[in-house]
Amino acid sequence: MKTLAALTLCLVVLMATGFPFERKGGSASGGAAKERRVQYAPWDEVNVIAHGLLQLGQGLKEHVDKTKAQMRDISATLKVFNRTVNEMGKESQRLRVEGEALKGRARGLEDREGQLLNVTAELREKAEEMQRERKTMSERMSRLEERVNSMLQGADARNSSDARNIQLMLEAQNRRIDDLMERIGLQQEKLDKQNVRIRTLQSQIQQSRQRPSSRSSNTNGSEHSGVAEQRDSPFEMASDCHELFLSGETTSGVYTIQPRNTKPFNVFCEITADGGWTVIQRRQDGSVDFDQLWQAYEKGFGSLNGEFWLGLEKIHSIVKDGGYILNIKFSDWEDDTTSVRLPFQLGGEETKYSIQVQEAGTFSTLESSLGPDATSGLSFSTSDQDNDQKNDTNCAKHLSGGWWFSNCGHSNLNGRYFQCPPPKQRHQRKQGIFWKSWRGRYYPLKSSVMMIAPAVIETSHKE
């Protein structure tokens, strides 16, 4: 408004000074002729005024353009705000729907948990009843034995048939007690399985309740790193991954364990329906060089979330008490897979970490690449520790990596990683990852995973 007022004032001044005006006056005699004089504004003043008007117009134009730009920015900001509000409304609606679904699932799991608890209580009562019956039968047996002993001491030939009948009764009672003991054992196994399932369901319920809060934190800007990151276990001092499974863990990933008489360390746990497997080796992309010396293979190397070797010291600390299964999985470049399971023992540093496979019948073709050679023990070898069974050759130096070599030709899962297609030269291909009884010595495999677990997991696998 001030700018418009200034412009109007300037126009008025221009009109007043830019046009001529008349100036009247009288003569001394009072009757003389009138003189008319005309005056004009100077040209410089007109130029100054015009220049001022031009500057004023330019300023007005710039002000108008700036105002328009500000209006456009405000309009764009309002549009972005409206879109953000709409997206937040949709996301909020989706989270509400997911929350209701999770609540329903949690209620279902709680109902199922209640049913399982009821079944467990019934089984426990039945087992207690069997225990009481067993105790009663034992007491009856004791009384019968006393009667038999007294009858045998004072019996004559006429009572011999009665003693025989009593002996038959005792044998029948013994068989019945054996049957009851077997039934009690079966019931106890069912109770143990029910307890494991209950703990698993409780863990699922807890995860279902915690999941909405984790989703909210992700919406506010936090990132979720996936199953590869380390998790907190309810029993941080478990001795292996199977104990974590029994405590309720259901997700594969990195955990902390502590075998007996050792310090805690991290491992990657593969959680399956059968139990928890501790992964000791993984080959998948060639990102880690496995051509390492003895100390590296003893301590371990690589990344638990990628390729790695856990370390002979750590593996021995887990399996030193015996009763473990070695589970090896392979894949070729056509994505065909297979696996082999071998019961084994692993010696300590004094035995050069000798592996001994327990022979249970005849080894299958797939098992023959390691089993027959390792029944009497195979020490671990590297290029700087020649402990193989071939006298004239260091298998680890001749091939690559570290392994339980016999005569260099049956297996080596720690060899060089060759991308597809493999090298054409035969002497190079035999340095790769191979399992002779599956794809042959000169076929470099695409991946391998080695896992260990207590032998009890084999029983649940067969069931």
Phi, psi at 47, each rounded to 5°? -65, -40
323: amino acid identity, one letter: G
- Segment 282-299 shows an average pLDDT of 96
DSSP state of 19: S
The tens digit of pLDDT for each residue in 302-334 reads 999 999 999 999 999 999 988 899 999 999 999
Are 201 and 102 a contacting pair, CB within 8 Å? no
Mean pLDDT, to the nearest integer, of 354-358?
A: 94
Q: Is the pTM of this model over 0.85?
A: no
Beta bridge mates, 340: 328
Write down the mean pLDDT value for the chain. 80
CA nearest neighbour of 369 among 443, 458, 266: 443
Instruction: Tell me the domain boundaries of the chain.
Output: 48-142, 241-454
**Cα(372)–Cα(367) distance, integer angstroms:** 8
Q: Is the pLDDT of residue 188 over 60?
A: yes
Residue 55: which residues within 8 A CB-CB, separation 6 or more? none
The token duo for 150 is: 């007294």
Residue range 262-291: mean pLDDT, rounded: 95
Distance from first CA to last CA of the chain, Å, rounded? 92
176 confidence band (pLDDT: 50, 70, 90) = confident
Among candidates 353, 278, 282, 281, which has minimal Cα distance to 313?
353
- C-alpha span between 275 and 269 (Å, rounded): 10
Q: What percent of the chain has pLDDT over 90?
A: 36
Q: pLDDT category, 139, cuts 50, 70, 90? A: confident
Question: What would the pLDDT profile of 26-45 be if each residue is shown by its tens digit?
Answer: 444 454 444 455 566 678 77
pLDDT band of 231, cuts 50, 70, 90: very low
Model pLDDT, residue 51: 83
Query: Which of these ranges, 181-185, 237-241, 251-255, 394-398, has the smallest mean pLDDT?
Result: 181-185
Confidence of residue 80 (pLDDT cuts 50, 70, 90): confident
Identify the CATH homologous superfamily for domain 241-454.
Answer: Gamma Fibrinogen, chain A, domain 1 (3.90.215.10)
pLDDT at 218 over 90: no
Averaged pLDDT, 432-456: 93
The pLDDT tens digits for 146-172 are 776 776 666 555 556 666 777 777 777
Q: Where are the beta strands (DSSP E) in 310-427?
A: 324-331, 337-346, 355-357, 411-412
* For the chain, percent of residues with pLDDT exceeding 70: 75
Which residue type sits at 449?
A: V
